[in-house]
Structure 1
Amino acid sequence: MGIKSVLVSCALLASLPAHAGGLFQPIELTDPELAQLRGRYVLPDRIISFGVTMTSMWQNSAGQVIGAQVNLNVDGRSQPSLTVTAIDQNIGTGTVVAGNGNISGGAGLNTVQGIVQSVRTAGDLNSGLNDLSINITRNSGGTVPQTGAPLNGSFSRSNDAGAVSITPAGGGLQMAITPTNGQGFAQQQIGAGNITQQANITGSVNNVQNLAALNVALRDNPGLNNAANCAWEQLRALRKSGY
């Protein structure tokens, strides 16, 4: 008899505030998918905190920086929090030359399901980084401190380097950077089962980063050690009987 399909919706998401609850949608798993999940789980009482961090940043040739960081954090002792921190710096001097590069194509990237990472450049001396990481820590003494202002709906910030905006999109969040002087465009989006990280650079001497991280903090379960010791004692008793 096949395993019945179920509607998977994490209990922690049920308590999300209105502005964070729409980031994730329940997904119905098929029998083959459920079969692959057997034995791969973490008991809820072992999770100290769970969070997602998204960071996008653009630095131009003059050392001017625009960007933002979004943190979604859930732990067992407080309400989930969704915060945003603006990245607004000027760490150098110089002149920004207007970008004149041309990037064509790439429309198919918006239709890919899963994880999409793309860096395309039509200028000189540029660097781009898309990175997705999963960080699991154990024996943590507590939750990760959260900084920034509460994110309610949309967010925008601008300076001499350009403008960054955060908006709800496709059941998740989209972060977009539009630099000044025609240097290109950067975008990062998470939600609806997809993660997209893109950078199109049409100027020169730019540094662009799209970073996403899933952070899980676990506590050790001493009960497992006790159970293992009990099983070992039973095996030792069997040796006397010739097993």
Structure 2
Amino acid sequence: MKTLICLMALLVVCSLPAHGANPFRAAELSDMELSKLRGRYVMPDRIIHFGVTMSSVWENGAGQTVGAAVTFNVNGRAEPSLHVTDLSSQLSGTEGTVSPGTGTLVGGAGLTDVRGISQSVRSAGDFNNGLNNLEIVVSRGGEADVPAGGSTPWAGSTGFANEVGRVLIDRQGGGLKVMLDAGTQGSAMQQIGTGKVVQQASFTGDLNSVRNLVTLSVGLKELPLGQDFANCTLEQLRALRPVGF
């Protein structure tokens, strides 16, 4: 009996094609195959909310700030909401003076044309601090991100200004853009959409700080007990390679 089993196993192995001799060997996927994987790991009815929060805040050498945030949410019923928030400080007039910036930045125009994610900090002054940060948060259950206090619904191009500078939130080229102008001290910019995320900080003065922050959040529905979507995912992946895994 053992001899018969060994012979059957040998016949099965010999009948396998060369590329299937080791069914557990890793197979490299082409770019075309990888492009078809987008969205296949999350069932559509499991997404209960999706959101983007983008904020830019500039602080000068006297501790004065100008900035804004925009929060975009889409719930499980595909209902969008868009809010903007003024993050500028209220100036009292007692803050210290800020020396005008005299630095000059050259080049860098091509940074906005980069596809994907582009982050840059350039400085033509001294003692400046710039941060570009992109965070992706995937959670189970919960609620969508709540806009900061004092936020207002989007009503088209929106701007805020004070003695530090001005910030403008606008839709340009199909995406959402936050542009911050701090006068002679420099500028900052963030843009998301049209297949790219751009974060930039440019300093032409001294003792400035800027924070460009983006958070992408996805909320997934909690799985009922005993319900398993693993087999669904495997079947979708199996269809990408007709020869099987």
TM-score after normalising by structure 1: 0.74
What are the equivalent positions in structure 2 for 1:79-158 lying under 5 Å apart?
Answer: 79-90=79-90, 93-140=95-142, 142-147=143-148, 148-158=151-161
Which deviations, in whole Å up to 9, do the C-alpha atoms of 1:173-195 show, x marking residues without a partner?
A: 11111113x00111111110011
**Structure 1, unaligned runs of 5 or more:** 1-29, 229-243
2:51–2:144 contact (8 Å) kept in structure 1? no
Equivalent residue for 1:72?
72
Equivalent position to 1:162, from 165, 183, 194? 165
Question: How far apart, CA to CA, are the structure 1 residues paired with 2:37 and 2:80?
Answer: 29
Question: How far apart, CA to CA, are the structure 2 residues paired with 1:200 and 1:160?
Answer: 19
Structure 1 stretches of at least 4 aligned residues deviating more than 6 Å after TM superposition: none
2:57–2:88 contact (8 Å) kept in structure 1? no
Q: Which amino acid aligns with 2:140?
A: R
Calculate the aligned-residue CA RMSD, in Å. 2.2
Which deviations, in whole Å up to 9, do the C-alpha atoms of 1:74-111 show, x marking residues without a partner?
A: 11258310010011115893221100111111122122
User: SS of the residue aligned with 2:79?
Assistant: strand
Equivalent residue for 2:201?
199
CA drift at 1:33:
4.0
CA drift at 1:46:
2.0
Which deviations, in whole Å up to 9, do the C-alpha atoms of 1:216-242 show, x marking residues without a partner?
A: 11222125x3459xxxxxxxxxxxxxx
CA drift at 1:31:
4.2
Which deviations, in whole Å up to 9, do the C-alpha atoms of 1:49-97 show, x marking residues without a partner?
A: 1100110110001111101000001112583100100111158932211
Higher strand share: 1
User: SS of the residue aligned with 1:88?
Assistant: coil
Change in CA separation of 1:143 and 1:186 when aligned onto 2, cut-off 3 Å? closer
Q: Which amino acid aligns with 1:169?
A: Q
1:100–1:202 contact (8 Å) kept in structure 2? yes
CA drift at 1:130:
0.5
**Structure 2, unaligned runs of 5 or more:** 1-30, 230-245
Q: Which amino acid aligns with 2:61?
A: S
Change in CA separation of 1:37 and 1:145 when aligned onto 2, cut-off 3 Å? closer
Q: Which amino acid aligns with 2:154?
A: L
CA drift at 1:32:
3.2
Q: Which amino acid aligns with 2:80?
A: P
User: SS of the residue aligned with 1:156?
Assistant: strand
CA drift at 1:144:
3.2
Question: How far apart, CA to CA, are the structure 1 residues paired with 2:134 and 2:61?
Answer: 26
User: SS of the residue aligned with 1:222?
Assistant: coil
Equivalent residue for 2:43?
43
Equivalent position to 1:210, from 209, 212, 222? 212
User: SS of the residue aligned with 1:45?
Assistant: helix
Which deviations, in whole Å up to 9, do the C-alpha atoms of 1:133-185 show, x marking residues without a partner?
A: 10111242x333334111122001100110001111111111111113x0011
% of aligned pairs identical?
Answer: 46
Q: Does 1:171 align with 2:174?
A: yes
User: SS of the residue aligned with 1:89?
Assistant: coil
Number of residue pairs aligned between Structure 1 and Structure 2 = 195
Equivalent residue for 2:234?
none
1:63–1:90 contact (8 Å) kept in structure 2? no
Equivalent residue for 1:57?
57
User: SS of the residue aligned with 1:214?
Assistant: strand
TM-score after normalising by structure 2: 0.73
